[in-house]
Amino acid sequence: MSNPISNYLGVHAAALPLREQRMQLIASNLSNADTPNFKAKDLDFQAALEQAAAKAAPLQSTNEQHMTLLNASPRIFERDGVQPSLDGNTVDADTERAAYGRAALEYRASLSFIESKVRTMLTAITGQ
């Protein structure tokens, strides 16, 4: 059964927590830029969003094993380093800062969209 609020907010209801999780991963990468053997991690956002959309959609299965992929957590992968490091760390601070800036912009865009939808709903409720 789907949630009417999630339906009203569209894909941004599922995207916002995923965007937040991605920002946390990138911030973790930046904070571990000098940690030996630390591997930079990222979230496959598109796959995670498709997974979240599939969870929200009412699906029927004929076998319990057909739905196992929908219960998987978002795919987090190790990002390859841009330049080899002697200590085995794959974090490139410039790449991470750029990725964080873009992720923050995308998060703010989703938040603005949700804010707009909520404002429209409040206007409809109050009539003002």
> pLDDT band at 66, cuts 50/70/90?
low
DSSP state of 81: P
Distance, in Å, from the CA atom of 104 to the CA atom of 121, rounded to the nearest integer, reads 26
3-state helix, strand, coil in the chain (%, to 5): 60, 5, 35
Tell me the CA distances in angstroms from 57 to 45, 49, 106, one per residue in order.
18, 12, 24
| Domains: count for the chain | 1
Ramachandran angles phi, psi of 86, nearest 5°:
-65, -30
Beta bridge partners of 43: 76
Ramachandran angles phi, psi of 84, nearest 5°:
-60, 145
Provide the residue range defining the domain that includes 84: 4-126
Ramachandran angles phi, psi of 78, nearest 5°:
-85, 125
Question: What is the pLDDT, as a whole number, of residue 39?
Answer: 94
Q: What is the mean pLDDT of residues 98-114?
A: 95
DSSP state of 71: G
pTM of the model: 0.76
Question: What is the pLDDT, as a whole number, of residue 93?
Answer: 93
Tell me the CA distances in angstroms from 51 to 4, 14, 56, one per residue in order.
19, 10, 9
A 10 A CB-CB count for 43 gives: 21
pLDDT digits (tens, 9 = 90+) for 9-62: 888 888 899 999 999 999 999 999 999 999 999 999 888 888 877 775 555 556
45 SS3 class: helix
Between 73 and 43, the higher pLDDT residue: 43
